[in-house]
Amino acid sequence: MDEKPGKTTWRSLIQNFTDSDLEKLRAIFKSRVDEDNKEIGLDRDEFLNAISTLYDDSTSLLESEALYNEINETTNEALTWNTFLDFLIIKLYPNQMNKMKLDLISIENVAHTKNESVAKIVLIETEKYFCYAIILKYGRVGLYDGNLNFLTSYHAIFTREDISRPEGERRRRNRWITDALFCPDTLLFIITNTARTIMIYEASGLKHVPLWLLISTPNIIQALDYKPYRRCEPDSQSMLFAGDCFGNITSFTFLQARTSLLRKKRNDELTLFYWEDFLKEKDYVSVKTYEKVHGSAVKRAEYIREYNVLITCSEDQNSAIVVKHLNNKRKSVYYKIPKGASCFSLSVPHNTLITGSRNGVIRLWNFLISKPISVIAHSQTNIVDLMVLDKQALFISCSYEGDLNVWDLKEYSCLQTIKLTFPSFRIHGKLIEWGINSIYPGPKRQPPEMQRDNGGKKECFGINDIDEKKIENLNKTPSECFSVWERSCLLVACCNHLAKLRMSFDDASVEYSFTYPVLPPPPLQNSVLIPTNWGLQNYLSDVKRLEDELNINVNKQLEELSFILDKNILEEEGRKNNINYKIAILESKKEQMRLNVALGAPYLALDVYEIEELRLSENVLKSNRKKRNFYMNRIQELLDNASAKDEIFSASSPTSSRSKSNKSSIVEFPL
């Protein structure tokens, strides 16, 4: 939709003030003095003229008039410079600095980078384990614990040839990582790259095992997001969303994610799929492509479970932001933004969508009615990342120049600015490379109630590590549930460096959660992936349900075996079913066979059945009388021969007197 200016406010005027603008205003204020060289201030017209010297447009004139009325709402006295500054301090920043504060701790080099830029940091976290997967531009993946201590590293597989290559020979400068994510429900790690492949690893341990390689996707996948299934919803399915370099969006719906994401051709080897063969795996995955959603490459994609929508962004002005409803009950919503959108973030509790553009402009939109709320001209350079703190009503922006700003989500004012001076900024001529994302949350910590749960619980690894019932427990109090961004620190990645910032909150419950220990990394030995529906959870409801199922099964088996109690072995039917009776019959047959063998005629011990009368089938055609008579005569002849042969075999004459006819007793019908 088109961007339309809303109600004019003086706040947007203040946000556009630069240091030079404030210096000019101060000079104008100080120039108005009386005979005793004391400042007399500016009246309404003089203040409007002063603002017009900075911004010569009608919008600024209306905003300056609203600003003057806001300052002098209780008095009509002249406006002085000190009064103007007091207004900025008291009205614009009323005790908001106490909600959250950032403090720079350190800027460090990533251990395994070797001067290679960080493409993305993926958080691999479950209810028991946590680690960072720091992915470099050309495919090197390093695993770090919550305190950023290096654990291990490996080089991702890009193409089919990389399967047999040593890790040291997989790096190529003409291909690089485009996106990566972790699937919390299946413990899988997905990586995409410019070689048009999708690599899926099993990531339950520190040793990531390659499982599937999807080759020759139609286009280069640029952005990924994942919708995990919910255990409490029987019809819930896992979905993977992928935006490519031509603005298309592809959705992968996994039909058997609870047992296996895709089909495995061999259990001990990587399974390889070409795209055309992958589309035929309809028992495991359903693929749907939405073409030309954006006019240019998809920059980011995010699934919002609360609204069941997929939000994507691009630098195309006519489709900068696209909101697609997955239930197809509503049409997609398109946002038209000058210079497009390089990043976005959505606050669900406040129904506010925040977008950042390459020209440094931050826009806030009402997500429900798709109307712009405010426009903040923050910087002259690209906004590389945005994130929202919903409970504190704050959001953080990061610009290409390394300016990290904390903004108030309701007042649209800047509360704090930190200049991140990365070592790469001081190298003359170096290309500054920001990753796919730039702002990342700190490590996950383990609450005491989880330690108590683990005390009497047997350790097991695999998909059962995901305690979904604990995650989806509706009886939790709000203080027990913290956002992924309400953590002790914040990470900002640029080139091959990480900036670590301490986050201080005024909420005592959040600060108390920082005293919990950081979750340990996953075990080094890979786990056995056990489907969740195989696991037996140590919950009272599960135990009761299991007892009910066992009782039902036992009663059913007893009903099936009730015939044993009702059977009377003295009756005729009972005697036939008796094993001793069957053994006696078999022994008598064996004795009869021995006697006939001694006589040289073992065939006499065979059970010969009476030959029934052969009859023509009703389907035989009888239109030709001559042919029918021929068949009748032939059948009669065969029957006569068979009867004669039966009489010969039943006679007691010696073998020499028997007919030596070699004709078979099998009746053959001519074709």
pLDDT digits (tens, 9 = 90+) for 310-366: 999 999 999 999 999 998 888 999 999 988 999 999 999 999 999 999 989 999 999
| Residue boundaries of the structural domains of the chain | 10-92, 295-432, 568-607, 612-671
Written as one letter, the residue type at 35 is E
Q: Is the pLDDT of residue 93 over 70?
A: no
pLDDT at position 8, please?
Answer: 45
Report the Cα–Cα distance between both ends of the chain, in Å, rounded: 80
Percent of residues, the chain, with pLDDT higher than 70: 78
User: From CA 201, how far away is CA 529, in angstroms rounded?
Assistant: 12
pLDDT at 520: 92
Q: What is the pLDDT of residue 248?
A: 96
Please check whether residue 42 is in contact with residue 79, taking contact to mean a CB–CB distance below 8 angstroms.
Answer: yes
Please determine, for residue 652, whether its predicted confidence score (pLDDT) is greater than 70: no
Instruction: Give the model confidence (pLDDT) of 598-616 as tens digits.
Output: 888 887 887 777 777 777 6
Distance, in Å, from the CA atom of 13 to the CA atom of 27, rounded to the nearest integer, reads: 19
The predicted structure's pLDDT at residue 154: 94
Is the separation of the CB atoms in 443 and 146 below 8 Å? yes
pLDDT of residue 624: 67
Number of Cβ atoms within 10 Å of the Cβ of 38: 9
**295-432 CATH:** 2.130.10.10
Q: How far apart are CA 342 and CA 298, in angstroms?
A: 9
| Collapsed DSSP state (helix, strand, coil) of residue 301 | strand
Give the residue-averaged pLDDT of 14-31. 80
Q: What are phi and psi of 638, to 5 degrees?
A: -65, -35
Determine how β-strand 209-215 pairs with β-strand 271-274: parallel
Contacts of 578 (CB under 8 A, 6+ apart): 569
Mean of the pLDDT values across residues 261-279?
91
User: CB-based contacts of 306: which residues, under 8 Å, 6+ apart?
Assistant: 348
Chain segment 489-525, per-residue pLDDT in tens: 999 999 999 999 999 988 888 888 888 999 999 988 6
d(CA 284, CA 226): 16
Nearest to 494 by CA among 105, 101, 191, 120: 120
Tally Cβ neighbours within 10 Å of residue 20: 9
pLDDT in tens, 116-141: 999 999 999 988 899 999 999 999 99
pLDDT, residue 472, reads 43
Please state the separation of Cα 217 from the chain's center in Å: 19
Question: Quick one: average pLDDT of 221-232?
Answer: 91
Which CATH class, in words, describes the domain spanning 10-92? Answer: mainly alpha
Instruction: Please give the mean pLDDT across all residues of the chain.
Output: 81
* Backbone phi, psi, residue 10, to 5°: -75, -15
Strand partners, 313: 300, 321
Q: Please tell me whether residue 35 adopts helix, strand or coil conformation.
A: coil
Cα–Cα distance measured from residue 510 to residue 501, given in angstroms and rounded to the nearest whole number: 16
What local confidence, expressed as pLDDT, does residue 565 receive?
A: 62
- Confidence class for position 620, pLDDT limits 50, 70, 90: low
Contacting residues for 1 by C-beta, under 8 A, at least 6 apart: 333, 334, 335, 336, 370
- pLDDT of 75 reads 60
Q: Examine the pLDDT at 655 and tell me if it is beyond 50.
A: no
Nearest to 471 by CA among 392, 388, 389, 532: 532
Provide the pLDDT for residue 65: 81
Residue 558 corresponds to which tokens in the numbers above?
Answer: 């007893």
**In the numeric block, which tokens belong to residue 102?**
């950032």
Chain segment 140-190, per-residue pLDDT in tens: 999 999 999 999 999 999 999 999 888 888 888 889 999 999 999 999 999
Q: What local confidence, expressed as pLDDT, does residue 387 receive?
A: 94
- Closest of 485, 440, 500 to residue 182, by C-alpha: 440
322: tokens are 């696209």
Of all residues in the chain, the percent with pLDDT exceeding 90 is: 40
Region 417-421: mean pLDDT is 91
Using CA atoms, how far residue 593 sits from 113, 581, 582, 597, 652, in Å, is 86, 19, 17, 6, 18
* Cα gap 310→316, rounded to integer Å: 17
**Selected residue with higher pLDDT from 628 and 115:** 115
Question: Contact, 191 vs 241, CB < 8 A?
Answer: no
CB 227 within 8 A of CB 238: yes
Predicted pLDDT at 40: 82
Report the C-alpha gap between 39 and 279 in whole angstroms: 77
296 pLDDT above the threshold of 50? yes
Say which residue, 193 or 578, is predicted with more confidence: 193
Q: Report which of residues 381 and 670 the model is more confident about.
A: 381
Taking a C-beta distance cutoff of 8 angstroms, is the pair 375, 381 a contact? no
DSSP for 126-158 reads -SS-EEEEEEETTSEEEEE-TT--EEEEEEPP-
Give the mean pLDDT of 41-60: 79
DSSP readout, 246-260?
TS-EEEEEETTTTT-
